[in-house]
Amino acid sequence: MPVFRTLSKVAKQALLSTPGCSCQPLTVAVRNISFSPRQVTSDASFHSVSFSETDHPKVLITGGLGQLGVGLAKLLRKRFGKNNVILSDIRKPPSNVFHSGPFIYSDILDYKNLREIVVNNRITWLVHYSALLSAVGEANVALARSVNINGLHNILDIAAEHGLRLFVPSTIGAFGPTSPRNPTPDLCVQRPRTIYGVSKVHAELMGEYYHHRYGLDFRCLRYPGIISADSMPGGGTTDYAVQIFHDAIKSGKFECNLRPDTRLPMMYIDDCLRATLEVMEAPVDTLSMRTYNINAMSFTPEELAQELQKQMPELDVTYDVDHVRQAIADSWPMNFDDSNARKDWGWKHDYDLPELVQTMLNFFGAETLMARAN
């Protein structure tokens, strides 16, 4: 690249210094040599790499050790093959994750490191899960801004440069107190009040800008609260809906940090991961937009506790409201309108509240039996 720039500069100076020459300055296409959107001209255009139906995408998942990364890797490896899906994170993976398929260190704030990974592994799909969640982000705004915004810029530039299909999740936290709450449509006023929400609106808009400006194949789903049995809560406002199962099995008691009547949209993790795969595989011509709401159910802490108490009558639920988390929850949608996702690419959820509770209890029941046997 330095050699190329030097040659281009010399040629340009030679043309400009030639007496009577009406030639324009020399312009050389640099796409095949390598570039970054940080260096491109105003009329540049990017196009996603296409692959035949017999080829599998090569997938990189950032933030892979979070709530969703391991589960998505398992689903994609079953679909595309074990070695075609690479998990990455800045943390050391547990043994079972390390031995389940390719894992590499990747810091999204290190542009050079991320670029090398994409090039060396011939990545075609990038799933960007690295982020600080709502409550954690409010406790460390500077770090959340760095990871959620600066890290995203690295991801966008590299995805555009290498023609990747890019998935970046958004969230119910991308809406604010002035948004319509019941239901919340795909397009409306957002104005979130948390750094997490602000960064997700930024991601939605930047992804759509790169799509329209550079042709980046950007795809985004606004996730509701995600409930899963095989991962611990990660600092989100909706994590009470996971913690209640852990505490119910462990002690038979649960203290909720939200009011009992706080209604929020929720989804079981299997539905969430399947929706992610489906939108990534959806033909381009079926997508009427680049950011979609998806939904499955909507419930309050009280309704979840009552459904759980049908199976565990002895469960004791109390409430000690965390005012920071409650203020966040009160600014979020009560219910998502996901009619566009259902119409455009056939989204349909499988789990409602009764199925969710039974599935979670089945998982923890089997886990408890195994622990006792061991």
Which are the catalytic amino acids? 196
Return the residue matching tokens 């390598």: 34
205-208: list long-range contacts, CB under 8 Å, 24+ apart. 206/152, 206/153, 206/156, 207/156, 207/166, 207/168, 207/290, 207/291, 208/290, 208/291
Contact 297, 253 (CB under 8 A): no
For residue 336, give the DSSP letter. B
Contact 185, 295 (CB under 8 A): no
Per DSSP (E only), the strands in the chain are 59-62, 85-89, 103-105, 125-128, 165-167, 170-171, 217-223, 225-227, 253-256, 264-268, 291-293, 297-299, 316-319
Q: Which of 337, 338, 345, 356 is nearest to 270 (CA)?
A: 356
Q: Is 22 exposed, middle or buried (0-12, 13-18, 19+ CB in 10 A)?
A: exposed
Q: Which of 233, 295, 229 is nearest to 267 (CA)?
A: 295
Cα dihedral across residues 28, 31, 37, 38: positive or negative:
negative
Contact 264, 298 (CB under 8 A): yes
- Tell whether omega for the bond before 183 is within 30 degrees of 0, i.e. cis: yes
